[in-house]
Amino acid sequence: MTELNNNVLIDVQHLTKAFGDHVVLKDISEHINEGEKVVIIGPSGGGKSTFLRCLNLLEIPTEGTIIFDGTDITDPKTDINKVRQHMGMVFQHFNLFPNMTVRQNITWAPTKTGMMKAEEADAEATRLLTRVGLLEKEDAYPSSLSGGQKQRIAIVRALAMKPRVMLFDEPTSALDPEMVGEVLEVMKELAEEGMTMAVVTHEMGFAKEVGNRILFMADGVIMEQGTPDQIFNHPQSPRLQDFLAKVLI
């Protein structure tokens, strides 16, 4: 975590999350530096998604603090809407707005938050759509798109807000195998441009190639972490060795 050794963008301290009696996250302390690409892997039910969703308060932590760019976002007095405008999120099931065209999906948030004027947002949408090669779909509705196209639009929608960090919650898990590549490609480009990223994924190839740091989560804790080389080639804990044996055939 010190290899990039620059500004801490997200600092998580003693994060605990419980749903009723079921404790999903147990006293997690972790931080994400600016420009870092953190990939979170681990078995289902281990708390990966919950951890990610706590970072932008889609899940309210039961205990602990999360500092984003110097602001304590777990403080009830913090305007969470303002904070979220700087944190993009991409979901497993895309969650595009089916009542809006592709272009409207992208320009809606920047204009409604007052961040951009309509023309600026339009120009930004055109730029981003061109970049992911979907400009010809600008007037289409999400229902007419393939899964891969939907997810690329969802990434673009989040990028239109010019976020400081992008959170990806299993972005390729709901895709047909042949569409995984096109989405990962966009994510790789984003990583190369220096975007700070936190990615929950089962794509081990992506984790190896793009991640600066891999977190292995199981049973509500970060059991092991390190560089891709450390995690994939020299796993320490039996739990991780077992997990890797199952996913890497």
Partner 1 sequence: MNNLQAQFVTAFVTEDRWKAYLEGLVQKTYVITVGALAFGIVLGILVAVIRTIHDQNIGRNNWLINFLNGICQVYTTIIRGTPMLVQLMVFYFVIFSSSRAKVAISILALGINSGAYVAEIIRSGIMSIDPGQMEAGRSLGLGYTQVMRSVIIPQAIKNILPALGNEMITLFKDTSLVTVIGVTDLTKVAQTIGAKTYSYFMPMIGIALIYLLNVIVLTRLLGILERRLRRSDRT
* Tokens (6 digits) for 144: 């007419």
Q: How far is the CB of 99 from partner 1 (least distance, A)?
A: 5
Q: Give the whole-angstrom CA distance, residue 225 versus residue 238.
A: 13
Q: With the CA atoms of 131, 126, 117 and 164 taken in that order, what torsion angle do they form, in degrees rounded to the nearest 10? A: -10
Specify which residues 13 forms β-bridges with: 65
The SS3 of residue 236 is coil
Q: How far is the CB of 74 from partner 1 (least distance, A)?
A: 15
Q: How far is the CB of 38 from partner 1 (least distance, A)?
A: 18
Point out which residues bind partner 1 (CB under 8 A): 56, 58, 81-89, 91, 93, 95-101, 108-109, 112-113, 140-144, 154, 157-158, 161
| Closer residue to partner 1 in complex, CB, 83/135 | 83
Q: Any idea which residue has 């600092």 for tokens? A: 11
| Closer residue to partner 1 in complex, CB, 14/112 | 112
Q: Give the whole-angstrom CA distance, residue 248 versus residue 46.
A: 18
Q: How far is the CB of 122 from partner 1 (least distance, A)?
A: 17
| Closer residue to partner 1 in complex, CB, 90/231 | 90
Q: How far is the CB of 5 from partner 1 (least distance, A)?
A: 29
* Tokens (6 digits) for 13: 């301290």
| Closer residue to partner 1 in complex, CB, 73/214 | 73
Is residue 153 within 8 Å of 101, Cβ to Cβ?
no
Of the candidates 217, 235, 238, 240, which has an alpha carbon nearest to the alpha carbon of residue 26?
217
| Closer residue to partner 1 in complex, CB, 55/231 | 55
| Closer residue to partner 1 in complex, CB, 173/237 | 173
Q: How far is the CB of 141 from partner 1 (least distance, A)?
A: 4
SS (H, E, C) 138-157: CCCCHHHCCHHHHHHHHHHH
